[in-house]
Amino acid sequence: KLEQTLDKREILTRYLNVIYFGRGAYGVQAASRAYFGKDAARLTRAEAAALAAVLPSPNYYRVVNPGPYVRRRQAWILGQMQHIAPATPLR
């Protein structure tokens, strides 16, 4: 039903603003502050990828000091970022 009224970017934006990231943080802004002590707009590509890598199990996987699985996912996400949106404002 959402896809009938919203484009994919809007759906993703809404999802990222409500998803649980662990540490009591709901939404990417709260997660950015909880894990990295800064606003989401100031995340590096690696930090943004680390947050994405723990989804959908942020209570099981760690953003800080991640294990090998999360590191592999983070690396894959970073690679996808280069292919999909090389001109994004992330650092």
pLDDT over 60 at 90, yes or no: no
Q: Give the pTM.
A: 0.83
Instruction: Single out the residue of 42, 49, 31, 39 nearest to residue 85, CA to CA.
Output: 49
pLDDT over 90 at 2, yes or no: no
- Proportion of the chain above pLDDT 90, given as a percent: 69
Task: Please write the tens of the pLDDT for every residue from 17-27.
Answer: 999 999 999 99
